[in-house]
Structure 1
Amino acid sequence: MTKGGLRSVPPAARMLGLAGLLPQAAAALLVVAGPLDLRFSALALAFAYAALILSFLGGLWWGLAAARGAGGWIYVAAVVPSLFALATTVPWAVGAAWPGPSLIALAVAIWASLIVDRRLVREGVAPGWWMSLRVPLSLGLGALTLVAGIAA
């Protein structure tokens, strides 16, 4: 992370980024402590949100690469999150165990996304404050997704 932590992140990015944890926090809370009749819906929403955000990260990487004229590895890395998120729907589509294992896989993928983020900063593709935002967001979203997955 950069010096100054979250304070080094532009205010709008910081506020909106942190607000982006709220939907998953609500879903995880409903999975763990909500009414039983809302449990499956909360699990489905937790899954959908984690998959959506993982795909969004790939889009961010693609946009950074395009804006900076960066190397080809980033374009490859940028399509992996969407393909992985899609792959986590396969158990649901074929009637296998879902969404617990898929939520756990998504949590791990969200945490692993920090490897790409770190490399983007190191290569000067992402701004210097990037990791100050990405670390708490990825750790937070990953943890909330894991809670929902384990509770499933």
Structure 2
Amino acid sequence: MQDKPAKPPSVPGMAKWLGYAGLLPQLIALVLVVRGGALEWIALASSYAYAALIFSFLGGVWWGQAVTTSDSPKWIYGAAVLPSLIGLALFLPWTFGSEWPGPSLLWLGLAIVLSPLVDRKLGWGGGDWLTLRWRLSLGLGGLSVALALLAMERA
């Protein structure tokens, strides 16, 4: 008789609340951009910075999981550094005087939306974790895409 596989631990309630609270900066930025005015550009720049920071944080999560899991695939280490490199690369057009943050925020938002595919491919985290990852990634990525589209429309 085989033992049933252990049920993955559920995500603690505090972690869920804090995760959802992490969408507030992007929601506030969206409100400020929709309202327009003096804070619009600051809200856009801040929304890019916040999305890039969170995306980089996800790479750190993957790295941490990889070094603590004995059978991690070799490719995860490369994948774990990509969010930071992508965030930096998408920031560079601004430093060279190109239009920013609209197109960069769009690509960053799309990358965030797709990021849970890495978790799913790795099989790390149980149902609760993956559900939370999808919700938060769709939330942050979707808000970032909405902000980018607004920015590009007004440019």
Normalised by the size of structure 2, how large is the TM-score?
Answer: 0.86
Deviations 1:89-146 (A, max 9, x none): 111010001010011011110012121021122xxx3344221110100000011101
Q: State the shift of 1:73 in Å.
A: 1.3
The 1-side partners of 2:65 and 2:46 are apart by: 28
Q: Which amino acid aligns with 1:143?
A: G
Counterpart check, 1:91 vs 2:93 = yes
Gaps of 5+ in 1: 1-7
- Number of aligned positions between the proteins: 141
The 2-side partners of 1:117 and 1:33 are apart by: 36
The 2-side partners of 1:132 and 1:41 are apart by: 32
Indicate the structure whose relative CO is greater, using CA pairs within 8 Å and at least 6 residues apart. Answer: 1
Q: Which amino acid aligns with 2:66?
A: A
Q: State the shift of 1:23 in Å.
A: 0.8
Q: State the shift of 1:147 in Å.
A: 1.2
Aligned to 2:3: none
Aligned to 2:6: none
Gaps of 5+ in 2: 1-9
Normalised by the size of structure 1, how large is the TM-score?
Answer: 0.88
Deviations 1:26-63 (A, max 9, x none): 111111124x1001100010000011111011001001
Aligned to 1:13: 15
Aligned to 1:136: 135
Aligned to 1:53: 54
Q: Is the helix fraction higher in 1 or 2? A: 1
Q: State the shift of 1:80 in Å.
A: 0.6
SS of the equivalent of 2:39 reads: helix
Aligned to 2:43: 42
**CA RMSD, Structure 1 to Structure 2 (Å):** 1.2
Moved over 3 A (4+): none
Counterpart check, 1:108 vs 2:119 = no
SS of the equivalent of 1:95 reads: coil
The 2-side partners of 1:112 and 1:81 are apart by: 12
Q: Which amino acid aligns with 1:130?
A: W
**Identity percentage over the alignment?**
54
Aligned to 2:4: none
Q: Would the alpha carbon gap of residues 64 and 128 (structure 1) be closer, same or farther in structure 2, given more than 3 Å must change?
A: farther
